[in-house]
Chain A
């Protein structure tokens, strides 16, 4: 039996600002991981990544990041993605300036 597919989100950086963004189900780019589309099917994940790659005028470096379903939308599966959705730990810069982000 094939190994179970780990759920994914499509994430990238905004072309102009560089800020971390996530692809939503309705094809927007959100700065908030909880709004991201949580993809549970491998074939669909590849399609969504191709969709993202076609938006080179909006974003840079799209990739699939592991995520898990949480009470309020997707949650990071790895600490690197937790830092990306939050911002640096030495200053309250990045996303922490506009909306307080959870830190595990």
Chain B
């Protein structure tokens, strides 16, 4: 875990003091809202439909138990007893009062956390593989580099007023759990001839113009990577479009100029920028790496795990869905579902946060992760501790065995909270989860990712959902478009639209018809929804969704 240096602590204290004074000046009338708004956004404070919202960065999704407890404290003391984990590994508080926000930021600073650059046209929270440092398939832990990027991008003078926001994701594995191809820049750590570096993907993104990122460089060694990234952001900062907000993201710049032109410009800029990087960044990276040294994995018998696995079917079901392989064979990665059927995806109560913090402290080397799929992870757990962890999770409604299944839904806050939303997403997620739970079908259906956004901005990643749902306002009523075949992994793909959208009360039955079609079409229980869709295509799903159109055509 990264520990703040004196510089970090002093920097944050100064920023928080500045913001406290800015809030005071807004309240006493010295600042207008037009003057105050960019200042509050720089500190993660939005105004939503019903209240302010404070978005707190969880850098690369990593938390200690002390930090998780502090998030619980904020939820209890200044909010309504819960927080919402987002698809960008942040946490949002939906009900803070303007007066209280400076105190909330000070409380976050006590545990080395902040809300800086969780808004605005800046480089946002760098996200990472939530299994980083634990995954069996990893080349290297991406978090030291992510922390270097956090320090580099925070208050970077060149990158405070860019054409638009900028999002970087990083993974150390070939199996992409960080959706790197749907980010402005995606980094995949690779090793070449004993040298660690990254493959650089550029110009991915979702939103109104979804694009899969393109390879900018197949390999940049660590020594050059920061200069290369600075060159890339710098090229876009200069030529990215500022005339039209909807064409400002780097994906459009890459699309309009072509990847080869962008690569040439980046290489040219890189040669100018490179001499400014004299190795201080690499010294810093070495120091940061020390903070992320793997824990001393304990040894011991896993017999108690094996006996519980054999004898307790509920435990076995949970292990089969929620546990992933760890690089240490006696250990496991635990994904805690905060998506009990019928609950709001990504929400955790203060009590649940404390329970997860306690489990991390007692059993998981004091580490937690937040995934972009809105779950919480204990990255390092000795298998013999799994039964005790499962028992504790059960007491607090945290033991739902649904990771990767139809009820493990990503959903943005939608029109229940968000000022930009055009329709609700949370109740749609709740109803889908409840419906399939009632039918006891989800384990039979198997691996299926549903992702729901309440507007075209696609915070709910609907384009890369196996089933994607987009909520729109059509002539004053909520209407939901469906896409099929999206993929958020290393084989990333944008889903295909099925056709006309469905009304609010028709969307869950429509999803049921899609799932029924899959169950009829699949060749075996092993063929996943995505595999079946890729094999049979859209036609049978369309026939099931729009029987009238079929009848008319006949």
Contact = CB atoms under 8 A, between A and B. Distances in A.
A101 B311 CA distance: 50
A58 to B, nearest CB: 10
B339 to A, nearest CB: 13
A20 B427 contact: no
Given A18-B51, A94-B51, A95-B50, 9 more contacts: A16-B27, A16-B98, A17-B98, A18-B95, A18-B96, A56-B29, A56-B32, A60-B47, A93-B94
A15 B427 contact: no
Interface string B67-91: 0000000000000100000000000
A82 B33 CA distance: 25
B47 A79 contact: no
Q: Which 10 A-B pairs have the closest CB atoms?
A: A18-B51, A88-B416, A18-B52, A94-B50, A57-B29, A90-B426, A90-B344, A16-B98, A89-B427, A60-B33
B280 interface: no
Interface in B214-256: none
Interface of A: 13, 15-20, 56-57, 60-61, 77-80, 83-84, 87-91, 93-95
B50 A89 contact: no
A39 to B, nearest CB: 20
Contacts of B473: 79-80
A44 B47 CA distance: 27
If over half of A's interface residues share one DSSP class (helix, strand or loop), that class is named, otherwise mixed; here it is loop
A18 B47 contact: yes
21 contacts: A15-B27, A18-B50, A18-B95, A56-B32, A56-B33, A60-B33, A61-B47, A79-B415, A79-B473, A79-B476, A80-B49, A80-B473, A88-B50, A89-B424, A89-B427, A90-B427, A91-B344, A93-B80, A93-B95, A94-B50, A94-B95
Nearest to B99: A16
B423 to A, nearest CB: 8
B98 A18 contact: yes
Counting chain B CB atoms within 10 Å of each CB, the highest count among A17, A84, A88 belongs to: A88
B166 interface: no
A93 B81 CA distance: 11
A2 B390 CA distance: 67
A77 to B, nearest CB: 8
B551 interface: no
A87 B95 CA distance: 11
A88 B417 contact: yes
A84 B80 contact: no
B416 A83 contact: yes
B97 interface: yes
Nearest to A77: B476
Interface string B39-52: 00000000111111
A31 to B, nearest CB: 11
Contacts of A61: 33, 47
B453 interface: no
B477 interface: yes
A83 B413 CA distance: 13
Interface in B87-118: 94-99
Interface of B: 26-29, 32-33, 47-52, 80, 94-99, 344, 415-417, 424, 426-427, 430, 473, 476-478
A17 B33 contact: no
Contacts, number: 76
A90 B438 CA distance: 19
A42 B26 CA distance: 31
B86 to A, nearest CB: 15
Contacts of B426: 88-90
B139 to A, nearest CB: 40
B50 A20 contact: yes
Nearest to B504: A79
A33 B63 CA distance: 42
A94 B95 CA distance: 8
Nearest to B427: A89
A21 B214 CA distance: 47
Nearest to A15: B98
B95 to A, nearest CB: 7
Nearest to A20: B50
B344 A83 contact: no
B408 to A, nearest CB: 17
A53 to B, nearest CB: 9
A19 B94 CA distance: 11
Given A18-B97, A19-B50, A56-B29, A78 B416 contact: no
Nearest to B82: A91
A54 to B, nearest CB: 11
A13 B49 CA distance: 8
Nearest to B31: A56
Nearest to B49: A84
Contacts of B99: 16
Contacts of A83: 49, 415-416, 424
A84 B33 contact: no
A55 to B, nearest CB: 10
A15 B25 CA distance: 13
Contacts of A20: 49-50
A20 B98 CA distance: 14
A34 B476 CA distance: 21
A60 B424 CA distance: 24
Contact of A17 (B51, B344, B476): B51
Nearest to A86: B50
A89 B418 CA distance: 12
B50 A87 contact: yes
A17 B97 contact: yes
Contacts of A15: 26-27, 98
A74 B480 CA distance: 29
